[in-house]
Amino acid sequence: MKKANIVILGGGTGLSVLLRGLKTFPVDITAIVTVADDGGSSGRLRKELDIPPPGDVRNVLIALSEVEPLVEELFQHRFENGNGLSGHSLGNLLLAGMTSITGGDFARGVQVLSRILNVRGKVLPAANNSIVLHAEMEDGTLIEGESKIPQAGKRIKRVFLEPADATPLAESIKAIEEADLIVIGPGSLYTSILPNLLVPGIAESVKKAKADKVYVCNVMTQPGETDHFSAGDHVQALVDHVGDDLLDKVLVNVQNIPHSYAQRYAGEGAAEVKVDVDRLESLGVEVIGDDLLYFDNYLLRHDALKVSQRLVSML
């Protein structure tokens, strides 16, 4: 029997966490990963070698890989000293090296490393060239660079890409067209999710696809990015950027957050994302609520297995 195809668009920690859960189910996974990162090791390699930033792709490859824990540790190892090496992770350097070996074709480099790491599924960069994320703030200020946007401390009006004519991979479009379920998120709304959807052709393909489209809403707001946002505000931002008909469903957490966790996050300027059902429904999406939390050393995470179960049950 043919396995169901699930396509996930995102980036950052949220995507990697979810994929670790999803790969335990009998489904075919395609992850379309943002390449707008410009901070740290990724940013340096991007600038020096003129390649898409490898960081988010590296984390997704590892999340979907079936290798010995030691190989994973090696891939994620970050050098702490050494002139020029300090701060780089070995996985980023391997992705950069493989891109060079494949004649500068980043997507092909990712493909080759996927085989080496025995990756369950396909990992596709959202674009095969470097893209720069820009933000226009409510006060008219323009900010350049994904890592600088949340630091500006201002409310974001819109984000946009440069070059505006970045090309998606033909494979990504095909995967979206053939999907049985399309998942958007979880992850940073403006700096991980929208950079995927703003690559020309991606959002249009998602809208046209026959599959159900589900947005996995974040549990907590993100300082400098989604301060005071409700679940409805998250969906509205997606609509404002790419128009209606993007989503059919929104998966939200309804589990209570313990006071000690809420306090800890409040200290960092984050708060629980309130679920405003009426507003979400007025935006034309079906709201699916569930207990989706995993508590880990005072960190709140989506429970990868619970979220994956809910998603697989939609097939």
DSSP letter for each residue of 153-192: -S-EEEEEEESTT----HHHHHHHHH-SEEEE-SS-IIII
Per DSSP, the three-state class of 144 is: strand
Beta bridge partners of 304: none
| Residue 263 maps to a domain | no
In this prediction, residue 306 has a pLDDT band, given cuts at 50, 70 and 90, of very high
In a domain, 220, yes or no: no
Residue in this structure with the two tokens 């996974």, named with its chain if needed: 29
Query: Is the omega angle on the peptide bond into residue 186 within 30 degrees of 0, that is, cis?
Result: yes
Q: Is residue 210 part of a domain?
A: no
pLDDT of residue 35: 92
292, part of any domain: no
User: pLDDT class for 298, splitting at 50, 70, 90?
Assistant: confident
Instruction: Please indicate, yes or no, if residue 72 is contained in any of the structural domains.
Output: yes
CA neighbor of 106 nearest in space, from 196, 45, 152, 197: 45
In a domain, 290, yes or no: no
- Domain range spanning residue 100? 37-125
pLDDT in the model for residue 130: 84
**Rounded Cα gap, residues 307 and 309, in angstroms:** 5
Strand ranges inside the chain, DSSP E: 4-10, 27-33, 122-125, 132-137, 142-144, 156-162, 181-184, 212-216, 249-253, 286-290, 293-296, 299-302
pLDDT attached to residue 2? 83
Please tell me the predicted confidence (pLDDT) of residue 305.
96
Residue 293 β-bridge partners? 302
- DSSP secondary structure code for residue 3 in this structure: P
In total, how many domains does the chain have?
1
Query: What value does the mean pLDDT of the chain take?
Result: 94
| 221-256: pLDDT as tens digits | 999 999 999 999 999 999 999 999 999 999 999 999
Q: Please, are residues 127 and 35 in contact by the beta-carbon 8 Å criterion?
A: yes
What is the percentage of the chain residues whose pLDDT exceeds 70? 100
Q: Are 47 and 37 within 8 A, CB to CB?
A: no
Q: To the nearest whole percent, how much of the chain has pLDDT over 90?
A: 85
116 belongs to a structural domain: yes
Q: Assess if residue 213 is contained within a domain.
A: no
**Entry pTM:** 0.95
